Structure 1
Amino acid sequence: MTHTIRGAAALSLALLAGTALAASKDGPPVTAGALSGHVKILASDDFQGRKPGTAGEDKAVPYIEGQFKKIGLKPVAGSYLQNVPMTEITSKADGPLTVTGNGKTLAYEYFTQMMLWTRQRTAHAEVKDNDVVFVGYGITAPEFGWDDYAGVDVRGKTVLILVNDPGFATGDPALFGGGAMTWYGRWPYKYEEAARHGAAAAIIVHETRAAGYPWGVVANSNGIPKLTLIPADGGLDSRSAIEGWVQLDVAKEMMQAAGLDYATVKDSAARRGFKAVPLPLKVSVGITPTERDIISHNVVGMIPGTKRPDEVVMVGAHWDHLGVGPAVNGDTIYNGALDNASGVAGLIEMAKRYTHGAKPDRSLLFIAYTAEEQGLLGSEYYALHPLVAPAKTVAGFNMDGLGVLGPVRDVVLVGGGKSDLEDRLKAWAATHGKVVNPEPFPERGGYYRSDHFNLAKIGIPVVYAKSGIDSVANGADWGRAKLDEFTRLHYHQPSDEWSPAMDFTGGAADVNMLYDISHDLAFSDAWPKWYGKAEFRAAREQSQR
């Protein structure tokens, strides 16, 4: 204990000294007004919701590239653009999802009761009179001694899956992440795992609290054409033929038709020893998709280092949103002001601050990712095709949703317990009169829902930290209520729009905080490290051999 305290104190003093010495190297701090100005433009109706492969991208990408050029960032490998090839698949169920069993026939409608799609290249995707297996949380996790697919063959069948993971369901701190969602609780993992086991269709049961967002987010996010990275072999056959969600009431009715009680079966799925349950049901649904290939773009710019230019500190934010989609209160443009025009504004303004200061020892790479809203595709592509070798990438910083609640007393660390970048964050907070708190809604799995996750998977230490909820003017309860209100009413809705009432004072503090922490790394030879039990440590060690 004494050693830990002394180590933290020493780090804090070292960072303090570094900050003092670097003061003369700093450019002027980022301001709320500058952020608001970018958000007003990027989230305007003219940008059509910034969906990749649309007229919205044709406006957003040149805007960001133009800003990078204007402030003096250099291209990477001769270009400010990294091409990201994707297939856009437009698909919706041809008719209702029908379920038969025990003499009953049930039918569920698209958008209001179910959202089903295909991400395969195919003229027609279908399951007809298909067997159904309830696979609990749909998790295979040897490190937790957990396998929901043990002893059951789901090849060619439909699997019904619960969202989140058993730790959330039970609140047991020793089970998975306890109340905090792990990667195993996220929908991309569940679809991937179902496909690995050969399921023809993978359907997740939506529950608002367990998912972290209401049904409207599921419907609106998936009611638009969906993008998928094109694999090296050009195929997309690694996905189940049909993927999607059903409303909670649908799942309950299906279980009732199977002669089972939903609550009882759900409870058993969160217990060790759970065995998948074949249901006496058959499902049928068809999808006739259309597709087109597109080239989207990550936008990149660099400040070359003066002493160790081959070593790079990365700062990223995603530029995309959902584009034009289903009308909500007569509005069809999903502007994405907070999510994530704000992060792009922060990216531009942080880069500008660096260009007004001394040149760093290490290089700085600023990247605006495409297709985050489609499943972190732009950052996934970057991880597969990095512009700088992961072994030479010192650390990464992510901005996704800057603070708009005004000044706050706390900093939120999304997904703690990963790397000693968190020690640097805590040292910064201690010198600025703030506290570092865990995310207020850990069950939403924020660490696995933004682009830094793909950098972590290839071993790069990353941190995702932003303004907290303890408002200086109104307190923490008010801030928590505001965050919850945004998730319920505005997240992935057309109402996520720029307003002159947005207070980006907290957002500016976010950017200046990440500037300070990245600055210490850009002007040093330090290498952040994963904590001993972090799941990404092995990838880092492998990359640096």
Structure 2
Amino acid sequence: MVRADMGFLADDEMHGRGSATRDEHIAALFAASQFQALGLEPGGDNGTFIQKTALPNPLPERVQQHLSHFENTPRKETWNAIAILRGTSEANETVLLTAHLDHLGIGPAANGDNIYNGADDDASGTTAVLALAHILAAGKRPARTIVFALFGSEEIGGFGNRAFLAHPPVPLKSIIANLEFEMIGRPDPAVPEDTLWLTGYKRTNLGPELARHGAHLVADPHPAQHFFRRSDNYALAQQGIIAQTVSSFGLHKDYHQPSDELSKIDFNHMDRAIASMVEPIQWLAGTNWKPAWEPRQQPAPEK
């Protein structure tokens, strides 16, 4: 399943899943079809698994400058894929599992290749959320609700995430934790083998508690990169939600390059990484324990 999903999302035929393009839409429909087949509850628009939102017109100047280097294609809408596994006794509390669907699309060529496939960034995270949806949907229904959300347009400013926050499928105050999966396709030599790291590890007690329940999670070994602020989790954290990113990005040189391809993915690492999170997430969705911010560690709301 992991290889098949990665093979589809990071294939050249997906043209790098450019933000707010036809290919991002196809990726969202691909995820939605899996959610539907699992019998999950739709969390998108009008009883569907897709949440669509219009982009600002015109786009911010910095976004326009960024996109000027890439394929000239209409960028008018973005799409999220959202599904709900409704809980039993604590259904009014939610665990949110997320990743982003999009990458950079078609852009400047490097070594004759102009497709920015985004295998690690973030087909790997999208695949992880889909795999977790399969596993969790097939198991005993959890006490807490689990929402699976795959965001569009993270690469150009988190517009899919903004749409989710504006029109959430569950009340935002019901979300007790968000785990964003970002770039888990390759191991990070800075941490022990088969280990993932969590951004903002010392900001909350979530990471240490998941680790106590079997998660192979340690603190982010690259604090100078400010990764806590660089994924869709951050906008949720600004809303007060405990929201952190699971990753194993080792600062490889294929980041945001056409060379971020399927051939570079370590599937044994990915399989073990995803498997290591299953029981800790099942525990989190089945307990009445709630994570909390450490003193003065919650980010300020966006102004």
TM-score category by the smaller chain?
0.7 to 0.9
Report deviation, 1:90: 8.3
Q: Counterpart of 1:76 in structure 2: which amino acid?
A: G
Report deviation, 1:368: 0.4
Report deviation, 1:222: 6.1
Gaps of at least 5 residues in structure 2 are: none
- Corresponding residue for 2:20? 53
Closer, same or farther: CA 506–52 of 1 in aligned 2, 3 Å: same
- Corresponding residue for 1:139? none
- Corresponding residue for 1:419? 204
The structure 1 residue matched to 2:111, chosen from 324, 329, 334, is 329
CA distance, structure 2, for counterparts of residue 297 and residue 41 of structure 1: 18
Q: Residues 372 and 378 of structure 1 are in contact (CA less than 8 Å); yes or no, is this contact kept in structure 2?
A: yes
- Corresponding residue for 1:258? none
Report deviation, 1:418: 1.4
Q: Counterpart of 1:408 in structure 2: which amino acid?
A: E
RMSD (Å), alpha carbons: 2.8
The structure 1 residue matched to 2:272, chosen from 499, 509, 526, is 509
Where do residues 368-383 of structure 1 align in structure 2 (5 Å cutoff)? Answer: 368-383=150-165
CA distance, structure 1, for counterparts of residue 151 and residue 57 of structure 2: 17
* Partner SS state of residue 63, structure 1: helix
The answer to whether structure 1 residue 459 and structure 2 residue 240 are counterparts is: yes
* Partner SS state of residue 203, structure 2: coil
The answer to whether structure 1 residue 76 and structure 2 residue 43 are counterparts is: yes
Where do residues 343-492 of structure 1 align in structure 2 (5 Å cutoff)? Answer: 343-405=125-187, 408-429=193-214, 436-467=217-248, 483-484=250-251, 486=252, 488=253, 490-492=254-256
Q: Counterpart of 2:265 in structure 1: which amino acid?
A: M
User: TM-score, normalised to structure 2's length?
Assistant: 0.87
Show CA shifts across 1:305-353 (max 9, x none). 1222222110000010011111222211111101011111111110000
CA distance, structure 1, for counterparts of residue 236 and residue 198 of structure 2: 17
CA distance, structure 1, for counterparts of residue 87 and residue 157 of structure 2: 32
* Partner SS state of residue 417, structure 1: helix
Closer, same or farther: CA 321–88 of 1 in aligned 2, 3 Å: farther
Show CA shifts across 1:140-194 (max 9, x none). xxxxxxxxxxxxxxxxxxxxxxxxxxxxxxxxxxxxxxxxxxxxxxxxxxxxxxx
Report deviation, 1:83: 1.5
CA distance, structure 2, for counterparts of residue 119 and residue 414 of structure 1: 25
Report deviation, 1:119: 5.6
Q: Residues 95 and 177 of structure 2 are in contact (CA less than 8 Å); yes or no, is this contact kept in structure 1?
A: yes
CA distance, structure 2, for counterparts of residue 65 and residue 56 of structure 1: 14
What is the aligned-residue identity percentage? 29
Where do residues 37-116 of structure 1 align in structure 2 (5 Å cutoff)? Answer: 37-76=4-43, 78-87=47-56
**How many pairs does the alignment contain?**
296
Q: Counterpart of 1:509 in structure 2: which amino acid?
A: R
CA distance, structure 1, for counterparts of residue 57 and residue 74 of structure 2: 5
CA distance, structure 1, for counterparts of residue 106 and residue 31 of structure 2: 20
CA distance, structure 2, for counterparts of residue 88 and residue 348 of structure 1: 32
Q: Which one has the largest radius of gyration?
A: 1
Where do residues 101-500 of structure 1 align in structure 2 (5 Å cutoff)? Answer: 117=61, 223-224=69-70, 294-405=76-187, 408-429=193-214, 436-467=217-248, 483-484=250-251, 486=252, 488=253, 490-499=254-263
Report deviation, 1:52: 3.2
Report deviation, 1:79: 1.8
User: TM-score, normalised to structure 1's length?
Assistant: 0.50
Q: Counterpart of 1:458 in structure 2: which amino acid?
A: Q
Q: Counterpart of 2:28 in structure 1: which amino acid?
A: V
* Partner SS state of residue 374, structure 1: coil
Show CA shifts across 1:186-223 (max 9, x none). xxxxxxxxxxxxxxxxxxxxxxxxxxxxxxxxx97762
CA distance, structure 1, for counterparts of residue 279 and residue 68 of structure 2: 38
* Partner SS state of residue 201, structure 2: coil
CA distance, structure 2, for counterparts of residue 86 and residue 37 of structure 1: 31
Report deviation, 1:65: 0.9
- Corresponding residue for 2:293? 530
Q: Counterpart of 1:40 in structure 2: which amino acid?
A: G
Q: Counterpart of 1:531 in structure 2: which amino acid?
A: E
Q: Counterpart of 2:203 in structure 1: which amino acid?
A: K
Show CA shifts across 1:38-65 (max 9, x none). 1111010111111133231242121111
CA distance, structure 2, for counterparts of residue 334 and residue 88 of structure 1: 25
CA distance, structure 1, for counterparts of residue 234 and residue 62 of structure 2: 25
Report deviation, 1:292: 5.7
Show CA shifts across 1:369-419 (max 9, x none). 001111222112322332222211111111011142398154322222211
Report deviation, 1:72: 2.0
